[in-house]
Structure 1
Amino acid sequence: MSDGTEMLYVYAIVPGGDFTPAGTGIDGSALHVVGRDAGPKAVVHRHTGGPYDGPDGDVRRWVLEHSEVIDDVWQTAAAVLPVSFNVIVRSDPDTEATAAEQLESWLDDSAAALSQRLVELRGTCEVRVELTLDKDRLDDVHAEVADMKAEMESRPAGVRRLLEKRLEKTERDLVDRTADQIYPEVRGRIASHCLDIEEYRSTRREPGHTPVLMASCLVRSPEVPSLGAELTALQTTQPGLSIRFLGPWPPYSFADVTLDKKPAQPTSSTTAPEEERP
Structure 2
Amino acid sequence: MNDPLYLFGLVPADTAIVPAGVGVDGTHPLERLELGDLTAIVSTIPRQEFVGPEAEERLRDLAWVGPRALRHQAVIRDLMDQGPVVPVRFATLFSDAENLRARITRHQAALSAFLERTRDQAEWSVKALHDRKSDLARITERTLAERATELTALAPGRRYFEEQKLRKAVESGLSTTLAEACRWLYERLSETATEACKVRLQAKEQSGLALDMAANWAFLIARSAPDAFKQTVDALSGPGNPGGLQLQMSGPWPPYSFSPRLDES
What range is the shorter-chain TM-score in? 0.7 to 0.9
Deviation at 1:47, TM superposition (A): 3.1
Residue 88 of structure 2 aligns to a residue whose secondary structure is: strand
CA contact (8 A) 1:114 1:257 kept: no
What's the Cα RMSD here?
3.7
How is 1:108-257 mapped onto 2 (pairs within 5 angstroms)? 110-132=107-129, 134-135=131-132, 136-137=134-135, 146=142, 148-149=144-145, 165=164, 167-204=166-203, 211=214, 213-234=215-236, 235-238=238-241, 240-256=244-260
1:255 deviates by 0.9
Structure 1 length normalisation: TM-score? 0.71
Q: Which of 62, 68, 90 does residue 56 from structure 1 map onto? A: 62
Structure having the higher helix fraction is 2
Structure number with the bigger relative contact order (C-alpha 8 A, sep ≥ 6) is 1
Q: Retained in 2: the 8 A contact 1:16–1:40?
A: yes
Per-residue CA deviations over 1:237-265 (Å, capped at 9, x if unaligned) read 33632323233211111111689x96xxx
Describe the SS at the equivalent of 2:66.
helix
- Partner residue, 1:9: 6
Q: 1:72 is paired with a residue of what secondary structure?
A: helix
- Match in the other structure for 1:95: none
1:139 deviates by: 9.3
User: Is 1:11–1:43's contact at 8 Å kept on the other side of the alignment?
Assistant: yes
Q: Distance in 1 between matches of 2:200 and 2:135?
A: 23
Q: Give CA-to-partner distance per residue, 1:52-77, whole Å, 9 cap, x none.
A: 2324311222222112111111112x
Distance 2:25 2:37 in 1: 29
5+ long unaligned stretches in structure 1? 91-98, 263-278
Query: How far did 1:48 drift?
Result: 4.1
For residues 240 and 137 of structure 1, do their structure 2 counterparts lie closer, same or farther at Cα, with a shift above 3 Å needed? Answer: farther
Q: Secondary structure at the match of 1:129?
A: strand
Cα distance, 1:13 vs. partner?
0.4
Matched, 1:82 2:84: no
Report the equivalent of 2:25.
27
CA contact (8 A) 1:134 1:241 kept: no
Any unmatched runs of 5+ in structure 2? Answer: none
CA distance in 1 between counterparts of 2:89 and 2:233 reads: 30
CA 1:108 to 1:26, structure 2 compared with 1: closer, same or farther past 3 Å? same
Structure 1 residue 120: Cα displacement:
0.8
SS in 2 for 1:74: helix
Query: Which whole-Å CA distance do the structure 1 matches of 2:81 and 2:197 have between them?
Result: 23
Aligned-partner Cα distance in 1 for 2:262–2:128: 31
Contact 1:145/1:171 (8 A) holds in 2: no
Q: Contact (CA 8 Å) 1:133, 1:209: kept in 2 or not?
A: yes
Give the whole-Å Cα distance in 2 for the aligned partners of 1:85 and 1:101.
Answer: 20
TM-fit CA distance, 1:110: 4.5
2 CA distance for matches of 1:124 and 1:210? 26
Aligned residues: 244
| Percent identity of paired positions between Structure 1 and Structure 2 | 23
Change (3 A) 1:133 1:167: farther
- For 1:100, the aligned partner's letter is A
- What is the TM-score when the length of structure 2 is the normalising length? 0.74
